[in-house]
Amino acid sequence: MRNFPCGVIKATAVIAMEIEQASAKIRSKGVADDAEDYELPVYAERIPVRTVLGAPEPCPRLRDGVARPQSLRGYSEGRLLEEALRDAYFLQYPGG
């Protein structure tokens, strides 16, 4: 495995919660339920999970004059990771 001096992930965060019962659905119509399910005394919600990019943090030991590559232009603060990855893919493979 190669060692990198900067940008190394040094910790993992874990989120935990107690769940007594659960079910899940995958559907494209957003937050909605079947008509008969609205009669049940069951709480339901959707929790979207998105990865948003933070501000780039250049390695403090970069040599003077080494510029950020244009290929990283799409990886900017506030963008969704999925958008940045999609754009990078189409830059690499224009025909998709």
24-53 residue pLDDT tens: 766 666 777 788 988 999 887 877 878 999
Average pLDDT, the chain: 82
Tell whether the model's pLDDT for residue 23 goes beyond 70: yes
Q: Is the pLDDT of residue 7 over 80?
A: no
Inform me whether the pLDDT recorded for 61 exceeds 90.
yes
Whole-prediction pTM: 0.50
Predicted local distance difference test score (pLDDT) of residue 49: 79
Q: Output the 3-class SS for the chain.
A: CCCCCCCCCCCCCCCCCCCCCCCCCCCCCCCCCCHHHHHCCCCCCCCCCCCECCCCCCCCCCCCCCCCCHHHCCCCCCCEHHHHHHHHHHHHCCCC
Ramachandran angles phi, psi of 80, nearest 5°? -75, 140
20-26 average pLDDT score: 75
